[in-house]
Amino acid sequence: MFQTEQHSIKQDIAFFVAIAAAGFKLTDSKSVNTHDGAAWHATLTHGRTKIVTVSNGGHGGPDQSDFHATTPAGKAADKVSLETLFAVPEVAAAVRGHMLFNLDLEKQYSKVEGFDYPAAEAEIAARVPDVTEDNVEFLVGRIADIAGIVNSYKRAIKTKLLVVFEGGDAKGEYVTYKLTDTPANRDRVRQHEKNRTIDYFIADLFGSTNGPKAA
């Protein structure tokens, strides 16, 4: 379902928030582990319109996509929606990374003689990625992967303080305090951890203003 990649907490939340702000979300998302990997499916929705369902049976095969539009007008509208989504900077960066990853694999294991790989890499880096079936399948999988993580943060910050210390963001490391998010409790944490540098409170990445951001 998902490529093994390193994501920072900030990057994951920014990616998730940007997609939601553009009016997109996943519905009917479910994943179950099997002996050969994850069996999963998820539907990408724009507003109330279901655009595509991506799935994998968990038997080691490729992802499959089922686009919902059946009329020319519907297909054209969904194409515009996907182009809008792919133009979101956080989405474009993720898809470019996927394309560069695939290009690097090709270069290493099935290199085409005479093909200008540096030029291809430069072209990928310079423009908004194309809406291809492979890119759509990657993106839906990536959203589903990150949504589970980000939603766990959103649930936790309702009743707890989640704190990232210096150096923890890139590792996905944070500390949970069983304290409601108030300015007084943030100050308590700062006092308790005065020998460590607080990078940020995770709630602030969702726009929470319960307390001042860590310096």
Q: Are 37 and 58 in contact (CB under 8 A)?
A: yes
Tell whether 182 and 88 lie within a shared domain.
no
List of residues 6+ apart from 27 with CB closer than 8 A: 42, 43, 45, 50
Distance separating alpha carbons of residues 79 and 69, to the nearest angstrom: 10
CA dihedral 79, 56, 97, 162 (to 10 degrees): 110
Distance separating alpha carbons of residues 128 and 48, to the nearest angstrom: 25
Tokens (6 digits) for 8? 């920072």
Per-residue pLDDT of the chain (215 residues; tens, 9 = 90+): 334 455 799 999 999 999 999 999 999 899 888 877 789 999 999 999 999 999 998 887 899 999 999 999 999 999 999 999 999 999 999 999 999 999 999 988 888 888 999 999 999 999 999 999 999 999 999 999 999 999 999 999 999 999 999 999 999 999 999 999 999 999 999 999 999 999 999 999 998 544 433 32
Tell whether 198 and 98 lie within a shared domain.
no
Assigned domain for 193 exists = yes
Tell whether 97 and 55 lie within a shared domain.
yes
Res 144: pLDDT: 93
Total domain count, the chain: 2
Q: Final residue of a domain: which of 119, 134, 154?
A: 154
Distance separating alpha carbons of residues 84 and 182, to the nearest angstrom: 38
The domain of 191 spans 157-206
**In the block, residue with structure tokens 């969904």:** 78
Instruction: Using alpha carbons only, give the angle 164, 165, 166 rounded to the nearest 5 degrees.
Output: 125
Tell whether 23 and 94 lie within a shared domain.
yes
Assigned domain for 211 exists = no
Tell whether 73 and 121 lie within a shared domain.
yes
Assigned domain for 28 exists = yes
Tell whether 20 and 123 lie within a shared domain.
yes
**Residue 73 CB-density burial (10 A; 0-12 exposed, 13-18 middle, 19+ buried):** exposed
Tell whether 44 and 83 lie within a shared domain.
yes
Tell whether 15 and 117 lie within a shared domain.
yes
Candidates 138, 141, 139; CA nearest to 39 is 141
φ/ψ of residue 17, rounded to 5: -65, -40
Assigned domain for 74 exists = yes
Assigned domain for 24 exists = yes
pTM: 0.86
